[in-house]
Each structure stands twice: as C-alpha cells, then as structure tokens.
Amino acid sequence: MKQKKFSHAGGLFFRMLRLFVMLLFAGVSLPSLAVADDGAVNTQERIAPVAEVRLQGQPPVEMVAAPAQKKAQVVEPEAAPQPSRKDYPNVGISSRAIVWVLAQMHLFFGALVLAVPLFVLMIELVGVFTGDDRYDDMAHEFMKISLTGFSITAIFGGSLALALFMLYPDFMGYMMHVFGAQVLVYALMFFFESFFLYVYYYGWNAFRYGNLKWVHLTLGLLLNASGLTIMLLANSWATFMMAPSGVNEVGAVVGNVWEIMKGPLWNPINLHRFIANIGFGGAVVGAYAAFKFLSTGDPAKRAHYDWMGYTSNFIAILAFLPLPFAGYWLMAEIYAYSQQMGITAMGGILAWLFIVQAVLIGTILLAGNFYLWSGMSRTDGSERYKGLIKIIAFVLVVSFLIWVTPHTLILSAAEISLLGGSHHHILGPLGIMPAKNIAVNLMLIATFLSFQLYRRSDKVATVGWAPLGNALLIGVYVAAVANIVFLGVYFGYFTNTVYKVGSSVAQVGTTLVVIVFGLVIDSLMFRNARVLSSHWGRIPDRSQYALFALPIAFTWLMALMGYVRSSVKTHWHVYTVMKDNSPDNFIPTIGYAGNMITLVTILFLLCVLFMFWVANLSGSRQAKPEPVVGGVA
C-alpha cells in the first residue's frame, strides 16, 4: 500500500519534471532568439503602423522608412552612458554605503544557500551508499537550518535591485542593455531553484527509500544545478564590471551575450566563489552544531551534534585548503588583464587589507586545527600522535607570524633613523610574497597533517608494509617542506621576478603532491584496519568555540576580500568603459572600509542567529495549558 502511494507520487513528480525541463529549454532558447533579433528589428519598427491611415482633411501620416531603406543604414552601436554628478539621486545617505550593505548581505546569504545543498547532496549520497540513516538525518537537518536563508537571500536581493535601480539608474540601464535577456534567464532560474528546493526539502521523508530515493537525489542535483547557474550568471555581471568583454572601448556592445559573459576573470571568480561558498557554508552550519552541543546535557544529543560539528568542520577546512590556490589564480588573471589593477590591489592602499586577510586566514587555520586536536580526545588511539601536535602548532604559529609581517611600516623620521632605513633588516624580507608563499604552503601542509592524524587516531594499520608506508609518508613531508622553502628562498630572493612568480606555482604543486600522496598512502595502508572505538560527545566544551570562530572569521574574510575585489575598479562602474561620477567615486579610507566590513559581518551574524532560532523553533512544541479549576485561566 505504501509502495503504491510512493509510485503515484513518483509518477506525478516525473510529469512535473518533464514540464520543467520543457520550460527550461523554452527559457534558454527564447531569450537568445530575442537577443538575436534585437539588432534587426528595433522598437520604432515594431510599433510603427502597418498601413497608411489618413483622416479626411488631415495631412498624410509620416511612415517609418521601408525595411529595405533601413537595412542600407549603418546602425552605430550605443556607447556606455557617461552620467554626470547630477544624474545620481541623492537620498541623504551615501548611496555606496546602502548598496554595500545590501549587496554584501545578499552575497553572504546567497553563498550560504548555494553551498549547503551542495554538501547536503554529498552527505545524502554517502548515506545511500553506507545505508546509515544518520547521514540522511544529518543532511536533512542541514537543509532545515538553511531554509530560512533562502527567504533572507531573496529579501536582500530584491532590496539590492531596487536600491541599484534607484541610486545608479544610468549604470543599471547600461547593464540591462548589455546583458539583455540574460537577466530574465537569471530570474527564471529562481523559479526552478525554489521549486526544487521545496520539493527536495519537504519531500525528504516521502522519497526516502528505494528508487524514490534516487528521485530525491535527482531533485537535489537539479536544485544545485539551478543554484550554480544563478551564481555563474551573477558572477558574469561582477566580472564584466572588472574586466569588460564583448564591448568596444566606449562600451558599445559588439559581441553576443556569451562573449560578454566569458570575460578573462569569469572562470577564476566562478572557481573561487564555488570553493569559498562550500567552506563558508560548512563553517556556518558548524556553528549551529556547536550551539546545539553546548545547549544540551543529553548525551545522545551531544553525541549527535558533536558528529555534526565534526562533519561541518571537515567540510569547511577541506574546502578551505585549495582556496588560496584559486585566489592565487584569480589574482594572476587580474594582473594579466591589467597590471594597474593588480598593483592597486596588492601594492597600493588595498595591500594593507591583505595583512588583515592573513590574520583572518590564520584564525581560520588555527581554529580548525585546534578543533581537530581537541577532537582527537574522542578516541584512545590518539595518544600515539599527540607529540606531533606541538610541532604542528609551532609551524602554524611561526608561519602565521611571517604571513602577517607587513613590508612597509608607517614610521616617523626618528623611527626610520633608529631602524636604519624604511625596512627592518630581518623582518623586511619577510614582508614580501616569497616569504608569505612559504608560510601559506607550510600552514596548509600542517593543517593537512592534523587532518591525517585525526583520521588515523581511531585506526590501527594491519598491512605488513605499514612501517614502510609511514617512512614514505615522513619522506613526503620532509622533502616537500625542503622543496617549498628552497623554491621560496632561492627563486624569491636570488633570481628575477618572472622566476619568482613561476616558482610559487611549483610550491602549490608540491603542496598538492603532499595531499594526494597522503590520501593515497593512508587509504591503502588503512584498508581492513583495526578500528578503535570512538566516543562521540567526548570532546571538551572549549573546542566548540573554535566552531564559532570559524564562521565569524569566514564572514569577515568574505566581506574584506569582496571589498578589495570590488574596489580595484577604482573610479569606474565598468573598468575603462563607464566612469563612476557619483560622490563616492573614490577608494575610502581603510578605517571607513573596516567599519563597513565589520558592520555587515555583525548584521549577518545577527541574521544567522535568527536563522538558528527559527530552525530550533520548528522542533519545539508548547505544552497544552492545564485547565484551571473554576473555569478561569
């Protein structure tokens, strides 16, 4: 009976799915036709009378030129508008500040709700393959947390659109002109995303087993596909503003919408945001798990939320490890596109923000490592590795200090005289990129080692070659550290700039080799390993504060680097094509930017608390009031 009910639900689902696929194709093909026709048939022609209508006693109606004559005319493409100061409405508050807050809040929540379904789908898939219902329940709970986030994203997105159209009408008019019907595809994707989201979330228990589970997984896949498409489309607007393509030097559209979208920075941003979103999403849901862990005394619930917190941290740190490399690619492409833009980012006023970035990344890595070390107390087998924690901590702290060392200092004449120059003779060389490249790669390797030790702590290898495997692993780490230090010192300080930049790619390659070798050796060595008992919930309370630190640092970092990315355009709406003539067409002081970044971070965290509260509310039920004797309540 139950099966029949499921089959009926499945049939209905497939019919609806077919309808949506048809709509999807219609949505993609119709706007592209509209774009194709745009050049040939203009508005004047479309609304022109089809025949001469003449009233008695009136002069003849002037007709629009015949199509044959029109085609002979050369249509000049429309250049980007150049608004003057008076074209920007003044609402009494800085327009930039309004858009800044709304855009950043929209991006925060957008990142969250795009990321959570991604790893929820992965966790659900693990649950299917392992047959362990706990994975399924955890994935469902992750979705529950993020559900409110979808509404908040839409609220901020709508507010942002209204603010942009009101405060920057010429700029928005130009963007609409350039991207045309692509923005309608973007809107259409929201319908798909909402449909898949609600069916995916509310259908969780209805499509739980057998073939229907695969239907549910497909829904999750389609939810992610529509979410990712939304992200890619929105990214194309941001990257067009930084590095316009498909337009000529005055901003007139000369290419089709695909040529406009696929600018030189589009894919680096796509990759960077995709990875960063996953790390950010993992960190936020980890804070929820920590909050639930600390607020309950029930051992079963503590065990559940401990496991949930561990999984969240695992996702956050795993996504975070390749993030610096994606960021490196993005910066390299920015430099390749415009050296001026690259220097503005990393050599001018914004360079100081990279020092703040180092502090925040250091916080993330230290918090993530501390959580892993604390988590090792869940198993008795971790005693074997505790000695290594001190070495890892030492490497992390020293690397962190190198990373935060600035190159130039703001000094008085007396201080310069005392120092013997503008740079400290020992600390000065640590302020430039080669030293920082060594530091960041060592921090990533140390973090991966923490992961590896954690994963090993509840297992004992049983294969005969385990001692040789361990020796090989030591060899990998030692040789990798030697190679990274050699590449950084030799090419960074003793060769030319081209080799210096090139050697950083070899450093990244070395770090990736460590990760790949580590995973391969461990997966082979711990096959059929003896598993020691793990005690979920047996973790010090202080470890949970690391899970709170992660989303705070992640959020701050996103706000900070998002600001840097946007600011490198300096006084341009669209770089080199459309000037920003608004009263805010300058890079603000670091202090002002810092305050704005902090403001949006706090606002986001308040909204996240609201989101957690709502997620918690759905699971609570008020007890029915006892009737009062005498009939008066």
- Kindly state whether residue 387 participates in binding other proteins, applying the rule CB under 8 A: no
Check residue 151 and give left, alpha or beta (phi > 0: left; psi -120 to 50: alpha).
Answer: alpha
Let me know the angle formed at the C-alpha of 498 by 493 and 501, rounded to the nearest 5 degrees.
Answer: 70
Let me know the angle formed at the C-alpha of 231 by 168 and 559, rounded to the nearest 5 degrees.
Answer: 65
Taking alpha carbons only, the member of 561, 535, 51, 548 closest to residue 295 is 548
Let me know the angle formed at the C-alpha of 480 by 478 and 481, rounded to the nearest 5 degrees.
Answer: 65
For the segment 427-466, give every residue that binds other proteins (CB under 8 A): 461-466
Residue 475: CB minimum distance to other proteins, A: 3
- Kindly state whether residue 609 participates in binding other proteins, applying the rule CB under 8 A: no
- Kindly state whether residue 533 participates in binding other proteins, applying the rule CB under 8 A: no
Q: What is the number of residues in the chain?
A: 633
Residue 304: CB minimum distance to other proteins, A: 33
Annotate each residue in 461-480 with x if it binds other proteins (CB under 8 A) or - if it does not, as one string: xxxxxxxx--xxxxxx-xxx
- Kindly state whether residue 499 participates in binding other proteins, applying the rule CB under 8 A: yes
Q: Which is nearer to other proteins, 465 or 592 (CB)?
A: 465
Residue 598 identity (one-letter amino acid): T
Taking alpha carbons only, the member of 437, 445, 266 closest to residue 346 is 437
Q: Which is nearer to other proteins, 229 or 483 (CB)?
A: 483
- Kindly state whether residue 503 participates in binding other proteins, applying the rule CB under 8 A: yes
For the segment 477-496, give every residue that binds other proteins (CB under 8 A): 478-480, 482-483, 486-487, 490, 495-496
Give me the helix-helix angle, 169-179 and 182-202, nearest 10°.
Answer: 80
Q: Which is nearer to other proteins, 382 or 510 (CB)?
A: 510
Q: Which stretch binds other proteins (CB under 8 A): 57-65, 241-249, 262-270, 503-511?
A: 503-511
- Kindly state whether residue 516 participates in binding other proteins, applying the rule CB under 8 A: no
- Kindly state whether residue 509 participates in binding other proteins, applying the rule CB under 8 A: yes
Distance of CA 250 to the CA centre of its chain: 32
- Kindly state whether residue 122 participates in binding other proteins, applying the rule CB under 8 A: no
Residue 85 identity (one-letter amino acid): R
Q: Which stretch binds other proteins (CB under 8 A): 190-198, 412-420, 424-432, 502-510?
A: 502-510
Residue 329: CB minimum distance to other proteins, A: 13
Q: Binding other proteins by CB under 8 A: which of 294, 513, 519, 599?
A: 513
Q: Which stretch binds other proteins (CB under 8 A): 181-189, 385-393, 497-505, 591-599?
A: 497-505
- Kindly state whether residue 421 participates in binding other proteins, applying the rule CB under 8 A: no
343 exposed, middle or buried (CB, 10 Å; 0-12, 13-18, 19+)? middle
Q: Which is nearer to other proteins, 71 or 527 (CB)?
A: 527
Report d(CA 72, CA 306) in Å as an integer.
73
- Kindly state whether residue 299 participates in binding other proteins, applying the rule CB under 8 A: no
273 exposed, middle or buried (CB, 10 Å; 0-12, 13-18, 19+)? buried
- Kindly state whether residue 418 participates in binding other proteins, applying the rule CB under 8 A: no
**If DSSP states are collapsed to H, E and C, what string results for 589-623?**
CHHHHHHHHHHHHHHHHHHHHHHHHHHHHCCCCCC
The torsion angles phi and psi of 573, rounded to 5 degrees, stand at: -75, -50
* Chain positions contacting other proteins, by CB under 8 A: 461-468, 471-476, 478-480, 482-483, 486-487, 490, 495-496, 498-499, 502-503, 505-506, 509-510, 513, 528, 530
